[in-house]
Chain A
């Protein structure tokens, strides 16, 4: 039961260009979404998040867009840098009742080529 889906296992982008990572979800009760970045042999590092009441959140080079009607969110990185090369996980948090446990997608491996 994949409640959070990242359908692209990998993405390759040229340095300086835009990276767009996509995520779809099925549960309309999710109220908060987060993006994590993960390097090999390290834990996930929080990157950016968005509440379900918003449609956009921006932090420097990173912007997350949420389309609730389509149950879709995306992470834009612009300009992309070689140091952005990592696995990016989309995660969702349920509303009320749960203590905030996150449901993760399978991740997208981003490679930014110099």
Chain B
């Protein structure tokens, strides 16, 4: 069964450093998302991406964040200068196009645990 994969599983970084979190969405999916979950809190939407551009972003997704689809398979989230409060689990998700029977369902990767020291 196709699945969303994410690397690394755990990233430790110093405050102020740049990090890039990587995701490989399901191959025939067209919509891509990043979410995060701070320990003990709910999963929060960060950004959605479609047709090679950001389609929607939350207030969390400020100028320190960027996303990119550098090739046909990868989808990355970059945090330019990490802060302590960026420590969280970051989940990538993807979903199929409107013509697919399950187009409302987002499939999540296993997550990257980001720890900012």
Interface residues of A (CB under 8 A from B): 32, 34, 36, 41-46, 49, 51, 89, 91, 93, 98-107
Contact = CB atoms under 8 A, between A and B. Distances in A.
Given A49-B104, A99-B50, A43 B45 contact: no
A68 to B, nearest CB: 17
Given A101-B45, A107-B42, 11 more contacts: A34-B106, A43-B109, A43-B111, A91-B43, A93-B104, A98-B56, A99-B31, A99-B48, A99-B50, A99-B55, A106-B41
Interface of B: 4, 6, 31, 33, 35, 41-45, 48, 50, 55-56, 58, 91, 95, 104-111
Contacts of B45: 101-103
Contacts of A43: 4, 6, 91, 108-111
B105 A89 contact: no
15 contacts: A34-B104, A41-B111, A42-B111, A43-B6, A44-B91, A99-B56, A100-B31, A101-B33, A101-B48, A102-B106, A104-B42, A104-B44, A105-B42, A106-B41, A106-B42
User: Which of B44, B108, B109, B111 is the most central at the interface, judged by chain A CB atoms within 10 Å of its CB?
Assistant: B108
